[in-house]
Structure formats: structure tokens, C-alpha cells
Chain A
Amino acid sequence: KAGVTQTPRYLIKTRGQQVTLSCSPISGHRSVSWYQQTPGQGLQFLFEYFSETQRNKGNFPGRFSGRQFSNSRSEMNVSTLELGDSALYLCASRYGDNSPLHFGNGTRLTVT
């Protein structure tokens, strides 16, 4: 069974640009969550999608958005990039609410 796949693995963007990250969950998993990981703040919850609906959102500005498609694949978009957005962005999928999270290996975003 294939794991959670995130693309691309690495991204370098300039301040003010926008970026889209992609996540393909494990087959059969309908829930996809996104997390931002930085050395100073650790792992912080961005949002979760379940069956194409966002059902929870963390404390991030509106520049961070996401969506989920009918095949459960998810994308995350960050507009007007800031230097502080440099981080490892992790996607995780799970089958149901009581199921464990399965993380991808992340997308390393560097904003210059």
C-alpha cells in the first residue's frame, strides 16, 4: 500500500509569490490534514479536510488556504509569501476519526 505522497519535496520561492503544495493520501483515506513544522514553533495545525469539506482550521492567516478533491487528494496554497513562511509543510491522512495519522515526508519551502 503506497504511503502519503507530497510533491514537490523542495521549493524555493521569493517573498510576495504564491505557492501550491500537493498531497496524495493513502488509498481509502478520506481525511487529510496539513501541518507547518518550524524549529521554533514545532508542528502547528493548519487545517483538515474530510470528504472535500474543511472541518477544522488552525490559527493561521487567510493567506493559507486549501482544498480537497473528490479523489481525496489535497492541495495547500500560500499567497503573498513571507520570509516566516519558510518551513516544512507536512500532510497527513487517516481513514477515520479514531484512526492513526499517516504523514508524508513533507515539502520543504524556503522563501527568500
Chain B
Amino acid sequence: TQLLEQSPQFLSIQEGENLTVYCNSSSVFSSLQWYRQEPGEGPVLLVTVVTGGEVKKLKRLTFQFGDARKDSSLHITAAQPGDTGLYLCAGFSGAGSYQLTFGKGTKLSVIP
């Protein structure tokens, strides 16, 4: 069973601060996805990274896929209260794998 470990589990910061969330595994993934989930709603896809070493930016969010495709990080610059939510990483293990493996998530609270 392939596992994705996310850290930290909980994060509470002040508005304007920067933060990084990590997603690590001992297994190789063909691609990794990041989702954000708000209370009472389903997860919403933020980004997919496919190539080892890939960096993608989405406004104040920067996503990186590790060179060995075993880990990923999400960096948020100048966090805002609207960034509050549960951040989940998820990965497909390879071609023909239809099952997404999810990390347990990082619960982020941004205090105004």
C-alpha cells in the first residue's frame, strides 16, 4: 500500500505570514495532485504536477514536485483568511492505476 504523509497536520498562522506544507512518500507517483477542502464541501482540485522537479504557481500558491517524484510541497505567500481549509495531496501510482491515494491533509487556519 502506497502512503502519503502530510505535515504538519495542523497549522494556525496570522494573516500575511508565509507557510509550507509537505507531502512525502517512500513510493514513486506518476503524478501528484493538491486539493483544498472547505467545511461542508468536497475537495476541489488546485493543481496537478507530473514531471519530477516541476514547479507550478497559482497566484500566491507555489507547488513543487520532487525530482524523484516521491514528494511535493505547497508554499503559500502572504496567507489570507480565504486560504483557510484542509489541504490534501493525492497521487496516482502509475499507468493503469485508477486509484488516487490521499494524504490525511493539513488543516490550515489563517487568523485575520
Mark A residues whose CB is within 8 Å of B.
Answer: 4, 31, 33, 35, 41-45, 48, 50, 55-56, 58-59, 90, 92, 97, 100-106
Contact = CB atoms under 8 A, between A and B. Distances in A.
A45 B99 contact: yes
A45 B90 CA distance: 11
B44 interface: yes
Interface string B80-112: 000000001010000000111111110000000
24 contacts: A4-B42, A31-B98, A41-B104, A42-B88, A42-B102, A42-B104, A42-B105, A43-B43, A43-B88, A43-B102, A43-B105, A44-B102, A48-B98, A48-B99, A50-B98, A58-B99, A90-B42, A92-B42, A97-B98, A100-B48, A101-B43, A101-B45, A103-B44, A105-B42
Assign chain B's interface to a size class.
20 to 34
A35 B99 CA distance: 10
A101 B98 contact: no
B25 to A, nearest CB: 14
